[in-house]
């Protein structure tokens, strides 16, 4: 039965472009969008520029391609903060805390912050600044670094263009784009993120991203413990990877954690 709602061609075209880009494994040329979506070339370029102005896409000049921008990630984070991710993640995070005996949390990326949506406190462990709804600078947290490492360099550059973008909590952590790039390089190389005193003096964390089928970071799971405790960090990382993989599976993603 035909809908009696008024049609908005521009809105339909914008949604088609964003959906197409979201299903691509990497940046895409405008000409590919024109061909695959059968849209006028002038329309595609006009809409891409408008989306760029609002942060939904970024233009990669070196390759003449377009990628999803940080505002698009904020939309996915908004969905993630609602019930499905928290409901599916809560029992897994609780089981992780029971298994490791340390506090664990699930967070999503929102601009340059992480937002905690599940928090499980281990008994007889120090109080944490993290809690459900709390926002912290992503570049300082293990969960944030795990997610940032899954973004492309242009997307990270859009988030952290200069030193003014770098907040600090304890004086520890990256203070410039070059320092953050090195941290994210090591994170990708190791397959997990870590921080030691960057958020709270005397506490350490490791984190692993939960990735969708296009390798976008929909969330991250992290564990925090007192720095003086002698723990098997590799066992923590293995447990985090298994938990991230299981959460990704429950969300319907075939591949959900970095190697």
**Burial, 169: exposed, middle or buried (Cβ in 10 Å; 0-12, 13-18, 19+)?**
middle
Domain residue limits, the chain: 9-68, 74-251
Look at the domain 9-68 and name its fold.
Answer: Arc Repressor Mutant, subunit A (1.10.10)
Three-class SS of residue 64?
Answer: coil
pLDDT at residue 127, as a whole number? 66
Q: What's phi and psi for 103, nearest 5 deg?
A: -70, 140
Q: What is the pLDDT of residue 222?
A: 97
Specify the pLDDT at position 3.
46
**CATH 3.30.450.40 correct for 74-251:** yes
Per-residue confidence (pLDDT) for residue 4, from 0 to 100 = 52
Q: What distances in angstroms separate CA 42 from CA 47, 51, 142, one per listed residue?
A: 9, 14, 43
Show the tokens assigned to 218: 């929909």
Q: Cα 172 to the chain's mean position, in Å?
A: 22
Measured in degrees and rounded to the nearest 5, phi and psi for residue 179 equal -65, -40
**What string of pLDDT tens digits covers the 259 residues of the chain?**
444 555 568 888 999 999 899 888 778 999 999 999 999 999 999 999 999 988 889 998 888 899 888 777 667 656 555 567 888 999 999 999 999 999 999 999 888 899 899 989 887 776 676 667 788 999 999 999 999 999 988 889 888 989 999 998 888 999 999 999 999 999 999 999 999 999 999 999 999 999 988 888 999 999 999 998 888 999 999 999 999 999 999 888 854 444 4
d(CA 199, CA 65): 36
Output the pLDDT for position 214.
81
Per-residue model confidence (pLDDT) at position 6: 52
């Amino acid at each position: 039965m035909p809908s009696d709602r008024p049609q908005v061609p521009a809105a339909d075209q914008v949604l088609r472009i964003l959906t197409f880009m979201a299903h691509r494994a990497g940046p895409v040329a405008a000409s590919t969008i024109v061909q695959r979506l059968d849209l006028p070339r002038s329309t595609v370029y006009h809409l891409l520029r408008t989306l760029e102005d609002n942060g939904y896409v970024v233009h990669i000049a070196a390759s003449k391609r377009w990628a999803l921008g940080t505002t698009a990630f904020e939309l996915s984070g908004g969905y993630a903060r609602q019930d499905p991710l928290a409901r599916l993640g809560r029992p897994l995070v609780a089981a992780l805390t029971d298994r490791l005996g340390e506090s664990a949390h699930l967070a999503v990326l929102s601009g340059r912050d992480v937002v905690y949506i599940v928090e499980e406190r281990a008994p007889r462990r120090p109080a944490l600044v993290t809690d459900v709804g709390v926002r912290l600078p992503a570049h300082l947290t293990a969960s944030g670094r795990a997610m940032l490492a899954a973004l492309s360099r242009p997307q990270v550059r859009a988030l952290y263009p200069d030193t003014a973008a770098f907040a600090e909590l304890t004086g520890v952590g990256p203070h410039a784009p070059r320092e953050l790039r090195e941290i994210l390089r090591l994170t990708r190389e190791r397959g997990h993120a870590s921080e030691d005193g960057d958020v709270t003096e005397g506490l350490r964390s490791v984190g692993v991203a939960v990735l969708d089928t296009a390798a976008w970071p929909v969330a991250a799971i992290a564990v925090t413990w007192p720095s003086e405790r002698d723990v098997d960090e590799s066992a923590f990382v293995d447990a985090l990877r298994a938990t991230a993989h299981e959460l990704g599976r429950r969300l319907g993603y075939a591949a959900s954690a970095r190697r």
